[in-house]
Amino acid sequence: MRPSQYTDSDCLLAPDRMKAAELPADFKVPRAASVLRHSVTESIRNAILVGRFRPGERLPERELCEMTGVSRTLVREALRQLESEGLIHVIPHRGPVVDRLLPEQAEGIYQVREELEGLACQLFAERATDEQLKSLQSAFQALKRAFAQGGSLEQLSAKNYFYQQLLDGAGNEALTTTLRLLNSRVMLLRSTSMQAPGRAKKSLAELGELLEALAARDGRAARKAGSLHVRNAARVAIKVLRETQAAMAAE
């Protein structure tokens, strides 16, 4: 574990459950006390995921305070949470820095994702109620609208919401908890793959095939479609990471 100047254990896990339409246009945070810390964490996380802060870049507290409109105390609490999620790390005498995923790390994450999400698709096909299937189909339509009209933040949020509906319908608490432990890094890789030219269109086509298998209650076909979707995303994201790594080595 990396050394950290943050030791407060009073942090909240913050899986992205917000619909695309509910996201603010910028990174300013609503000031309702009961959700403020969660909102600050989510705001900084989203800023990282859409490239406002790049891998290896410092996260100056003053800039984060100006971006979110909250105090240093709340920003520091959010940074502690993001460090626990593996999205940032703290360098002594330099401060918090956005973590940089290596291609080898991404490969490991995608291997786990393929197995777990494939299982989630199979379980959804076998267990989900008709109402849960309708919710997933609605989430897919929202995802299509976000890809057609929304920005990168709306697209990422819509994709995350789709997966939340999928996991809810799978009905396996252990599976959901395990994937949430990887949530921030999964979202970072998802953001990386979605930015690749042509990937959004292919992603929608793959998810459309998955929905057909789910609607048919075909667990085997659903698992195959879900696994294929993850493998294709992995191929794109890891290619981007390798190209970035090579460009950095050449500088």
* Amino acid 25: pLDDT: 54
Q: Could you tell me which CATH class the domain 103-250 is placed in?
A: mainly alpha
CB 89 within 8 A of CB 118: no
CA distance 161 to 61: 29
Q: Which amino acid is at 57?
A: E
pLDDT averaged over the chain? 87
Give the mean pLDDT of 146-150: 90
Closest CA to 68 of 46, 89, 83: 46
Give the mean pLDDT of 111-127: 97
* Amino acid 58: pLDDT: 95
Topology of domain 33-98, per CATH?
Answer: Arc Repressor Mutant, subunit A (1.10.10)
Closest CA to 169 of 229, 208, 128, 218: 128
CB 96 within 8 A of CB 58: yes
Give the mean pLDDT of 35-57: 90
**Where in the sequence of the chain do the CATH 1.10.10.10 domains occur?**
33-98
pLDDT bracket for residue 197 (50, 70, 90): confident
H or E stretch including 164? helix 152-170
CB 38 within 8 A of CB 73: no
Model pLDDT for residues 153-192, shown as the tens digit of each residue? 898 889 989 999 999 999 999 999 999 888 888 888 888 8
Residue 172: CB atoms within 10 Å: 16
* Cα atoms in the Cβ-side hemisphere of radius 13 Å centred on 9: 0
CA distance 71 to 65: 6
pLDDT at 20 over 50: no
Which of the two residues, 25 and 181, has the higher pLDDT score?
181
The answer to which of 14-18, 127-131, 179-183, 244-248 has the lowest mean pLDDT is 14-18
Give the burial class of 49: count Cβ atoms within 10 A of its Cβ; 0-12 exposed, 13-18 middle, 19 or more buried. buried
CA distance 187 to 190: 5
Which of the two residues, 235 and 31, has the higher pLDDT score?
235
Which of the two residues, 223 and 33, has the higher pLDDT score?
223
- Tell me the angle at which helices 199-215 and 219-250 cross, rounded to the nearest 10 degrees: 160
